[in-house]
Structures are given as C-alpha cells and as structure tokens.
Amino acid sequence: MSSDYRPWEEREADLRRREALDAPKIAAAKARAAEIERESRKAEEADEEERVQRAETKAADAAAKLATEQAERRRKEAGRKLDTKAASAVKKFAIICFLVALPLQLRAFWDPTRPWNIAIPIMLESAAWVALRLAEAAIANRRLVWPYLVATAVFSSIAAGINIADGALHPEIGLVFGLGGGVASLSGPGMWMIHKFGARAKDAKATRSERKLAEQQAKQAEAELDAARVQADALVEAKRVEADGRQKIEADKRAAHEAKVAADKAAADAALMAQDEQRKSLYPGAWEQYELILAANPLGSISRDRAWDEARRADAHPDVWRRYQILTLNAPANTKSSDLWAEAWVSEKGLPLGHTIEGLATKLAAREYVDQTVAEHLGAAEHLAVEELLESLFGPGGDGGASPAKGRPKKPSGGPAQDLGAQVGIGKGPDSTPVRKDLTEPLSEADLKAARELRDADPDGFSTPAVADLLGRSRGYAKRIRDAINNPKGEQ
C-alpha cells in the first residue's frame, strides 16, 4: 500500500476543518455580494425614478407649452376679430364723416354762375385721404412719415375751417352746424390715422426678446447656410473630380479607339495598295480600264470592287463595253446596270448573255460530229433511237413532237420495253417503229427561209443541231430541213 494513503475518516475531518476555516470568508463574500446587489437595485430604482420624473416634467412642460400656445392662439384670434370689428367701425365712421363734411363744403363753394367751384371742396376732402395713403406706404417702406401726416392735418384743418366759417357767415346754416362739419372734416382722417398707424406700428416694432430671438434665428440660419454652402462646395468638388476622372477615362478610351481605327485604316490602306500593285502587274489592261472608270465617276460614287468588275468586263469584251457605255449614258436612271450589260451583249454578240459565236460553233460542231457518227453506223430506226437519246441529253425539241413524252416510241404489243433496242424495234423490220409526226409533216416555208439565212450567215456551222436550236424543233425535223436546203430537189 502506498505511503500517501489516508483513511476516509481523516479526509472527512480535514474537509470539515477547511470548511470551518473558510466559512467567515464565504459569509463576508456573500454579504458583499448582497450589498452590491442592493446598491445596484437602488441605483436602478433611482434611475427609473429619475426617468419617470424627467418624463413627467417633459410631459408637464409640453402640456404647459401647448396650453400657452393655445392661449396665445385664442388671444390672437380674439385680437384679429376685434381688429376686424374695429376696422369696420372706423371705415363706417370715416364714411359718415365724409358724407357730413362734403355737403357743407359744396354748399360753401356753390355759385350758380360758376358751377365748377364744386371741384374745390372735393379736392380738399380728397387731399387728406390721399396723404393718409402715402403715409401708409412710407411706413411699409421704412421712409419718413411726418411729412404726409402734416399734409393730412393741413388739408383736414382747411376743410374744417371752411365749414366753421360757412356756418358762422350764413345764419340759415348756423354756427353749430358749421362746427359739426369742421369736426367731421377732422375726425374722419384723424380716426383712420390712429387705427391704421397704431396697427402698423405694432406690427413694425418688436420686443427686445423677439429681436434677440430673431437675431439668434438669423445667426443660426446664416450658420446653416454656411454649412450648407460648404457641403455644397464639397459635393461640387467631388462631382468635378468624378467628372474629370470620367472625362479622362473617356479620353483614354477615345484615344485608344482612334489609335485602333488609325491602325486598322493603315493596315487596310496597305492591303489595298498591295492589291492594286498585284492587279496592276497581273492585269495591265484591266488596270488601265480601272483607272479610267474611277476617273470618269465622281469620288465615292462607285466602289472599288464594282469598278474592278467593270474594268475586267471592259478588258475582256471591249466591243460590248463600248455598247454598254452608250446604253448607260442614254438609258433611264432607274435601269439596272445588269440589264444594260445583258442588252449590250445581245446587241454585239447576237447571243444570250455569256454565249459567244466561237462557243456556239464549238457546240454545233460537236453535235454535227455526233450526228455524222450515228448516221454512219446506224440505220434509220437506230438513228431515231439515238435522236431520242440526244434529245434527253441536250433538251427537248420543238412543237413537232420532239419532246420525250410525245416523241418516245410506243411500247410493243407483246409487253413493256426492256431496252433501247427493243424500244425502237432494232432488227424487227421497218414496221416495228410507229410513224412520227415530225418525220412526215410538210416542211414549212418559214422554217426553210430561216434555215437558208443561217446557212448563208455561217456555212461551216450549218448542221442539224444548229437548225434544231434555231427552229426549236426536233432533230428529225431539223434533219429534213437541212437535207432540203442542201438538196433543193429533195423532200419538200
């Protein structure tokens, strides 16, 4: 057994002894924790109470402010109503005073011999009111007011003196009525001046607190304006920097694009120059025509490719090109150049576009050689079969039954045709092939005339295929026409 072993009773006793020694410390720690918790709770309660108090104070201030604002609004509303009533009363009083004073003025200046004298009292009574209007405008525009008030007092006093003197000098009017007219002349403008100028002075003159508040508001507005100006300047500067950056990027892109376009153009120009040198060396005749065509057309009105195509045409077929030029100059503007070239070709060559007399002669010579070979080695029936074969190879004939459908021999009665020899009846006698219409019909005088003209124009090329192409008929009929021309005593 290890020397460190201790029985459980000893270990339990040591545990109780350590707990007893640590108990005061644990109790003190718990008490401190409880105290801290109480203080924290008190602080939270104090904060909550302070928040509630602040909220109540704020609500009370808001309610007081609302009540003050409502009271001020009610006072202002009541003041506006009273001002409206006072203005109405003053206006009515001024009208009454004017109606009382003006007749007395008219009475004082009336003279039947001089009726225009009534303009003087109207002028005197109106002058005071005009001066009042001028005084109102002076107050509103911060000008001197007393000259207009003096003018109002002078004109009103003159009108009042005239009314009093008129009442004193005329017993029928009486001094009392004259004094009443004088009071009316003074009371109307005076009451209007007190009402209007008192309201204007109240509106124009502010209290010290209002002036201070206005100054503070003006300073605050100026500070806000300065801050807004600074912010606007910063924003403008930022936008300017951003715009400059964008412009620089766009300028770089534009410069790169222009450089690429210039490089592409230089490469294209170099390729065109190389192509021109190659054309000039390989096709000198076409190049000469090419330069003539470019010089004859306005700059940019014809493309290089089209000019080169026409130059090759002019070099290869100068006779057709000359005719094409004549047609181009005299034809309507909406005529296609391809139609003009085809017409020029037919006009010069006498053949469809792309065909020449040499090519036609070669073609006809080949057909003539085939016909002669067939005539030498085959009989009449076999020759008809070969004619049928040639028609299937070179195209149908004319109206004389030379088409494959109409000119093809009918099937023998013993069954379907098995081959070409069976179809045409080779070796079965002369009656095995049906009679064809183009081999028995009379020869047309028009066909004979056309064939004679062909022989006169080209004796070497006069052959059965040439006649068949000219007349558009079968080769059997064409052979009969050719034989009739070569042997006038033959078949007609």
Burial of 418 (0-12, 13-18, 19+ CB in 10 A): exposed
Q: At 136, give phi and psi (nearest 5°).
A: -60, -45
Q: In the prediction, which pLDDT does 376 show? A: 62
Distance CA 384, CA 407 (A): 10
Q: Domain segments of the chain: what residues? A: 25-199, 213-267, 356-389, 439-486
Token readout for 141 is 């525009």
Contacts of 320 (CB under 8 A, 6+ apart): 313, 341, 344, 345, 348, 349
Please give the C-alpha separations between residue 1 and each of 5, 6, 10, 302, in angstroms, as whole numbers: 7, 11, 17, 121
């009534």: which residue's tokens?
118
Distance CA 394, CA 478 (A): 15
SS3 content of the chain, % helix, strand, coil (to 5): 80, 0, 20
What 3 state SS string does 280-303 have?
HHHCHHHHHHHHHHHHHCCCCCCC
Token readout for 437 is 């219409």
Residues in the chain: 492
Distance CA 3, CA 16 (A): 23
Contacts of 24 (CB under 8 A, 6+ apart): none
CB 307 within 8 A of CB 297: yes
Q: At what angle do helices 357-377 and 380-394 cross, to 10 degrees?
A: 150
Q: In the prediction, which pLDDT does 330 show? A: 84
Q: In the prediction, which pLDDT does 81 show? A: 81
Token readout for 211 is 């002036």
CB 188 within 8 A of CB 101: yes
Pick out the chain residues at pLDDT < 50: 1-3, 201-207, 397-433, 490-492
Contacts of 158 (CB under 8 A, 6+ apart): 124
Distance CA 317, CA 321 (A): 6
Distance CA 468, CA 465 (A): 5
pLDDT digits (tens, 9 = 90+) for 172-187: 777 777 777 777 777 7
Distance CA 136, CA 141 (A): 9
Please give the C-alpha separations between residue 210 and each of 141, 215, 225, 406, in angstroms, as whole numbers: 21, 8, 22, 123
Distance CA 276, CA 364 (A): 41
Contacts of 187 (CB under 8 A, 6+ apart): 93, 97
Contacts of 94 (CB under 8 A, 6+ apart): 188, 189, 191, 192
What 3 state SS string does 393-406 have?
HHCCCCCCCCCHHH
Contacts of 153 (CB under 8 A, 6+ apart): none
Distance CA 192, CA 129 (A): 9
Token readout for 196 is 């209007």
Please calculate the CA angle 60-63-69 and round it to the nearest 5 degrees: 140
């183009």: which residue's tokens?
438
């910063």: which residue's tokens?
234
Burial of 11 (0-12, 13-18, 19+ CB in 10 A): exposed
């005529």: which residue's tokens?
335
Q: In the prediction, which pLDDT does 384 show? A: 62
pLDDT digits (tens, 9 = 90+) for 352-411: 888 888 888 888 888 888 877 766 655 555 556 666 676 666 655 444 433 333 344 433
Whole-model pTM: value is 0.31
Contacts of 49 (CB under 8 A, 6+ apart): none
Closest CA to 330 of 318, 343, 317, 311: 343
